Structure 1
Amino acid sequence: MIKQAGYLLFALFFHLFRLCPVKEKKVFLVATHDAGPDGNIGIVSQRLKEEKPEYEQVWFTRDNTIRRPVDFFIKKPYHLATSSYVFLDNEFLPMAYLHFPQNVKVIQLWHGTGTIKRFGQDVNTGTLKKLEYRANQRITHLIVNSDAVKTEYASAFAVDPDRIYVIGNPRTDRMLDKKYLTGKTEQFYRDYPEMKGKHCILYAPTFRDAEVADPKLHLDLQKVADSLSEEDVFFIRLHPHIASHLKETLAGWQEKGIYNVSEYPEIATLLAAAGILITDYSSIVFEYCLLERPMLFYAYDLKEFEKTGRSFYRDYRSFVPGQVVETEEELLDCLKERNYPKKESFVRENFPLLDGNATSRLFALIFSE
C-alpha cells in the first residue's frame, strides 16, 4: 500500500507537469536493473551521445528512491512528462497510473536477451500483476531477438504482438564485437592479474522466489575447492539479494581458488573472461551462447521448480544448450572430465539476426518513424 501511494503521488505530479510542453529531443532512460555501460540503457545512451548529441538525457536508476522525495516526486515526474522518448530495462510500476501523449514512444528493452523461466504476467498474482499489466499497456515498442521470444514476451508482458519488434537486442551487439570482448578480457586481467593463464569457471545461478527469506548456495565449497586443478579458478556470481546474505559464507576461499565476484560491476567482463559458464534457469545463457563456449546447467531443484516454481516456456532439458546435471557430484565430475556437450542449433534458433547491428536497427525504428 505504501508503494502504491508513492506511485500515485508520482503520477499526480506527472500529470501536473503534462501541462508543460513535451520536448522533441528529450529522452528519459529507466535503468533500474542495469545502469552500467554494458546494459541496454547504457548502450542506447552512448549511441545517443555519438549520433544525437543534441538530445537531452535524463536517467532514472535504483538510486532514485522516495528517500530523496524532491527528486523522486517532482524532478523525475517533470522530466518524464516532458520527454518524447522513454527507454526501459525493467518494469516501472508508476507507469500503471500514467497517461502519455499519443506521440510519445515508450520502448521496453528489458534486461534479458531471452528467457527460459516464465515471468511477468505468466507468474505474478494479485496487485503486482494488475499494476504490471497496466504499466505494460503504455509500451509502444517491445524489442526482442527472435519470433520465439516474441511469442513468450507477448504473454509475459500481455502486450499486442503488433507492438513487439524482432530487430535484436542492443546487448547482443556487444557480445558479437570481438574488439569489445578483447578489451573486456584485458580489463578482467587488469583487475585480477593472478588469473592470467587460468581456466575461469563462472557459476551464475538464477534468483529463486522461494529462497528470498532463507538463501542457500547449494554447493559444498570444500568439495568444489578439492575438485579444482591448479589451473582452475571458480567464480561465483549471485543475485544481489542472495549475495548479501551469503557474503560471510563465501569469504576466505580465494586461496583455494574460489572467488566471490557478486559485487563485480560488469557481468559482461566476467562472461568475456569465463572459459565455461555454469547456470540453471538464468537468461544469461542467451548472451554467453554467442561466445560459442561450453555451458553446464546445474538444475539441482529441477523437478520442484517445474511443479511449484515459475516453470518454463519450453521443455527445459531439450531447450538448453548444454548438459543438465541435478547433483553436485555430477557437476564436479563434468568439470573434472571437461565433459561439455553443446547444442549447436541454439544460437541459430534464438538469434536470427547475428550481424551486430541491433542498436542501429533500434535507432532507425525509433528515431526515423
Structure 2
Amino acid sequence: MKNFLFRLYLRLMKLGASLTKINQKHLVILNGAGRSGSNGYLFAKYMRANHPEYDVTVVEPWPSSHLSFKTWRKIGRAKFVLTTHSPFKVHAKQVNIQFWHGIPLKRMGIMANNTTSRADWRNAKLWQKNTDLVCSSSDLYETLMSACTAVEAAKYHKVGFPRLDALSRPVISKDQLLQDLFKQRDEQAQIVIYMPTFRYELADQEVMAQISAGNFLTLPDFAAARLNESLRINHQYLIVKLHPYELSLIGDLNSHFSNISFLNNDYLTEHDADLYELLGSTDSLITDFSSVYFDYLNLDKPIIFVTNYLKQYEQERGLLLGPYDRVVPGSCVKTQAELVHALAAPDKYQTQRKYWLDLTNQVHSDSYCADIFNLMIQKGEEDKL
C-alpha cells in the first residue's frame, strides 16, 4: 500500500511539473547516493566550477515524498535530468542521463533473489521508457547492467563516471586525514579504509546485533583492543565507513582507540566533499561485497575481502560474478586473525587487479565529467533537429 501511494504521488507531481516550460540551460540531478561516490553530486560540482552558464539543481535525498512544488517545477523545467538510481523524467522532451552508482557485483532488478517479479518488470519498463543515455565504462559493465535492467545496448555510451575524476584527484590529503581523524602525524602511516556493503540486506538480526555491540567487522573473533594494537605496531590507521543505518546502531562514534576512527557524513559535509574525494589518499581497502572495489582498482592498491557471510549473501540476494574467490583480486578473510595477517602480508595481487581493471574500465580520460558534458550537449543538439 505504501509503495502504491508513493507511485500515485509521483504521478501527480509529474503531471503538475510537466506544465512548466523547459529551459535548455537547466539541468537537475536526482541524487540518491548521498556523499558516497555520488556521481550526481560530483558532476554538479564540476558543472558549477566549469559551466556557470547552466542552472544546476541537486535534489537530495531522492526519491522523496517531501519535496516542495517549487522543487518539482525545477525538475519539470530541466532539459537534462541526471539520475544515480532509477531513471526518471517528467515528460518525453527531457533527456535522462543515467549515472548509476557503481559497477554491479550484487544481483539487482530481474536478476536478484530477494525481489518480486512484478516489481522487477515494472522497474525494467521504467528503464526502457525513461532512459536516454547510460554512462558506461566497459563492455562488461553494460552486460551486467542489462542483465539486471534489460536496457538496450544502443543507450550505452562509454564516457566513464564522475566519481573516477574524484578518485584520481583527492581534495583531502593523507596528512589531513591523519590529523583530522586520528590526531596523528606519522611519516610511515598507511591508511586503511573499511567499506562494507549494506549488511541489513542479509535480513539477519544477529548481524545487526553484532554491529550494535561494536563489532563493526562482524567477525567471530573480533577484539577491538587487539586489532588496534596490531594497527599501531604496523603504523596502520583504520578508517571505518559504514552505511548510515549501521552507524546509527553503534551510537558512540568517538573511537576510544588510537588507530581506529569512524567516518560519518558530517565530516564530508563540513568539507563539502564526497567520499571519493578522499579515497585516493588511502593506501588500501577492506570490503566485502561492495562494488567500490571495482573503482579502487584504478588506484592499484591492495584490497582485502571479508567473506564470513559470503554463502548467506549469495543465497539472500546473489552475486552476478563467481566463483567469488576467482573474481576478487585480493586476500579473502573470515576472521580477525586472518585480517591482521593479510594487512601485514606483502602485496601479491597486482596482476589480478590489472586484469579486472582492464575488464571493468576501458575508458581513460583526463576528465570523465568533461566527456559526459560533451555527450549531454551533443544529445541536446540532436533533439533540436
CA separation of 1:297 and 1:85: change in aligned 2, threshold 3 A: same
**Separation (CA, whole Å) in 1 of partners of 2:98 and 2:204:** 27
- TM-score of the aligned structures, taking structure 1 as reference length: 0.85
Structure 1: segments with no counterpart, 5+ residues: none
Equivalent AA in structure 1 for residue 151 of structure 2: V
**Separation (CA, whole Å) in 2 of partners of 1:211 and 1:356:** 42
Q: What's the CA shift string for 1:128-181, capped at 9, x where partnerless?
A: 4344334323111111111101100112222112112222112112223xxx23
Partner of 1:328: 336
**Separation (CA, whole Å) in 2 of partners of 1:47 and 1:28:** 14
Confirm or deny: 8 A CA contact 2:172 2:278 kept in the other structure: no
Confirm or deny: 8 A CA contact 1:202 1:276 kept in the other structure: yes
**Separation (CA, whole Å) in 2 of partners of 1:287 and 1:331:** 22
Residue 150 of structure 1 aligns to a residue whose secondary structure is helix
Partner of 1:258: 260
**Separation (CA, whole Å) in 2 of partners of 1:283 and 1:56:** 32
Aligned length in residues: 353
> 2:128 aligned with 1:118, yes or no?
no
Q: How does 1:1-369 map to 2 (within 5 A)?
A: 1-34=1-34, 39-62=38-61, 65-66=64-65, 68=66, 71=68, 74-91=69-86, 95=88, 100-101=91-92, 103-112=93-102, 114-123=103-112, 124-125=115-116, 128-137=119-128, 138-176=130-168, 180-181=169-170, 183-192=172-181, 193-197=183-187, 198-208=189-199, 209-211=201-203, 213=205, 215=208, 216=210, 217=216, 218-219=218-219, 220=222, 221-230=224-233, 231-248=235-252, 251-255=254-258, 257-263=259-265, 264-265=267-268, 266-338=274-346, 341-342=349-350, 343=352, 344-369=354-379
Confirm or deny: 8 A CA contact 1:334 1:340 kept in the other structure: no
Confirm or deny: 8 A CA contact 2:106 2:317 kept in the other structure: no
CA separation of 1:353 and 1:64: change in aligned 2, threshold 3 A: closer
Residue 228 of structure 1 aligns to a residue whose secondary structure is helix
Shift of 1:46: 2.8
**Separation (CA, whole Å) in 1 of partners of 2:43 and 2:370:** 10
**Separation (CA, whole Å) in 2 of partners of 1:130 and 1:195:** 53
**Separation (CA, whole Å) in 2 of partners of 1:83 and 1:26:** 5
CA separation of 1:164 and 1:333: change in aligned 2, threshold 3 A: same
**Separation (CA, whole Å) in 2 of partners of 1:270 and 1:51:** 21
Residue 234 of structure 1 aligns to a residue whose secondary structure is strand
CA separation of 1:127 and 1:188: change in aligned 2, threshold 3 A: farther
**Separation (CA, whole Å) in 1 of partners of 2:366 and 2:307:** 32
CA separation of 1:54 and 1:212: change in aligned 2, threshold 3 A: farther
**Separation (CA, whole Å) in 2 of partners of 1:187 and 1:91:** 36
CA separation of 1:59 and 1:252: change in aligned 2, threshold 3 A: closer
**Separation (CA, whole Å) in 1 of partners of 2:86 and 2:14:** 18
- TM-score of the aligned structures, taking structure 2 as reference length: 0.82
Residue 318 of structure 1 aligns to a residue whose secondary structure is helix
Equivalent AA in structure 1 for residue 355 of structure 2: S
User: What is the Cα-based RMSD across aligned positions, in Å?
Assistant: 2.6
Q: What's the CA shift string for 1:3-56, capped at 9, x where partnerless?
A: 4313322321321332332222211110121358x6311232233224432222
**Separation (CA, whole Å) in 1 of partners of 2:275 and 2:77:** 33
Confirm or deny: 8 A CA contact 1:28 1:57 kept in the other structure: yes
Shift of 1:105: 0.7
% of aligned pairs identical? 21
Shift of 1:269: 4.5
